[in-house]
């Protein structure tokens, strides 16, 4: 019995830092060039692009973990994620 991770359905989200829409499909995340500037002229700075990727344009962590496992880069098992603010 395999694990079927949940994936976001969105292929894109608005190119607005801190927009209410968040999360994209793993496929969309992989296909986007991380150096591609955002479309709004107020978001042309590199820090804006980094914030948008971190706050709006990201896949489910399950999808990343599953991909790493399928590529043989992460062993099967139980893992925990520690978030320290």
Predicted local distance difference test score (pLDDT) of residue 3: 63
* Higher pLDDT pick, 1 / 80: 80
Model pLDDT for residues 46-67, shown as the tens digit of each residue: 999 999 999 999 999 989 999 9
Give, as one character, the DSSP assignment of residue 37.
P
**Which string of DSSP letters, residue by residue, matches 45-85?**
SHHHHHHHHHHTS---HHHHHHHHHHTTSS-SS--------
- Cα–Cα distance measured from residue 84 to residue 46, given in angstroms and rounded to the nearest whole number: 25
Predicted local distance difference test score (pLDDT) of residue 1: 45
Model pLDDT for residues 14-35, shown as the tens digit of each residue: 999 999 999 999 999 999 999 9
Name the helix (H) or strand (E) containing 26: helix 26-31
Handedness of CA 45, 47, 50, 52 (dihedral sign): negative
* Higher pLDDT pick, 81 / 38: 38
Residue 4 has pLDDT above 80, yes or no: no
């Amino acid at each position: 019995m395999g694990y079927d991770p949940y994936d976001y359905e969105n292929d894109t989200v608005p190119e607005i830092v801190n927009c209410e829409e968040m999360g994209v499909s793993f496929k969309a995340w992989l296909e986007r060039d991380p150096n591609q500037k955002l479309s709004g002229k107020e978001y042309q700075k590199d820090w804006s692009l980094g914030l948008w990727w971190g706050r709006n344009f990201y896949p489910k962590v399950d999808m990343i973990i599953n991909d790493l496992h399928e590529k043989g880069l992460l062993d099967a098992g139980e893992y925990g994620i520690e978030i320290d603010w």
